[in-house]
Amino acid sequence: MRIGPALTALHATVCAAAAPFAVDIGSGPAPVALIELYTSEGCSSCPPGEEWLSGLADADGLWRGFVPVAFHVDYWDRLGWRDPLGDPAHGERQRRYAAEWRSKSIYTPGFVLQGREWRSRRRDLAEIKDARGGGTLRVTGALPGSLDVEFSTEANEPWIAHAAILGGGINVDVPRGENSGRRLRHDFAVLARRDSPVGANGRARIEFSELPEDHSARRLALAVWIERPGSPVPVQAAGGWLDGAAAP
């Protein structure tokens, strides 16, 4: 599905967190690709794309070579079903990409690989080897709580650190709209997102005072990536499950 300008707004809610998760994830100097999916429960074309993304949970290279995130948009809510994971900020990020690509429209399901529109979605992920960027990224801390981000690169530029808590194994029965009567599964879905500028010392701190509403998530993960100010294109990423299985 394809659309022009944005429509409605929906803000994510959060609830009090349980015991904190220890965080220690990172990358080497080679680029780790950010795979982004723009999707909606209100879009009948989206379930196959989400099924493909869910398959990455068992793929070689998860967290080490690529970090998957699913941004649920809200601009299809008008079709009869309001996506509980939808956030207007996600559609705005997709529009920033469209501006980078000089495209007049946005659509779902829409895949982005390291800042580039990505239509092939090869199961062997061969195109990831051409990912642009790099720099050593390490993230430590606790969730809920503070994340300390360290980014080391030879490029002397300003940077922005982004962090997203992801939910997996989320099953939703959709009673209305284009997916009426279907049970949809979501993995790597963005439940909460924060950002912070990286200082001249290569460090940033990002706070999550609460964990996001779980939306029946069976598993949580953390994705962190680095961008230049004013551009959504990532230059490095890191991620890992929030259950003790940290990325190398």
Provide the greatest CA pair distance for the chain: 52
Predicted TM-score (pTM) of this structure: 0.89
Distance (Å, whole) CA 83 – CA 93: 17
Confidence at residue 2, expressed as pLDDT on a 0 to 100 scale: 57
DSSP state of 95: H
Distance (Å, whole) CA 102 – CA 162: 24
Confidence at residue 19, expressed as pLDDT on a 0 to 100 scale: 63
Q: Find tokens 């430590």 and name the residue.
A: 140
Residues 6+ apart with CB under 8 A from 102: none
Divide the 248 residues of the chain into consecutive groups of 10 and give the mean pLDDT of each group: 38 42 95 96 97 94 96 97 97 97 95 90 66 91 97 93 97 96 97 97 96 82 97 97 59
Confidence at residue 4, expressed as pLDDT on a 0 to 100 scale: 42
Dihedral of CA 113/108/49/53: which sign? positive
Distance (Å, whole) CA 92 – CA 114: 17
If 0-12 CB within 10 Å is exposed, 13-18 middle and 19+ buried, where does residue 215 land? middle
Q: Contact at 8 Å (CB) between 206 and 195?
A: yes
Dihedral of CA 27/206/198/131: which sign? positive
Q: Find tokens 């720099």 and name the residue.
A: 135
Confidence at residue 5, expressed as pLDDT on a 0 to 100 scale: 34
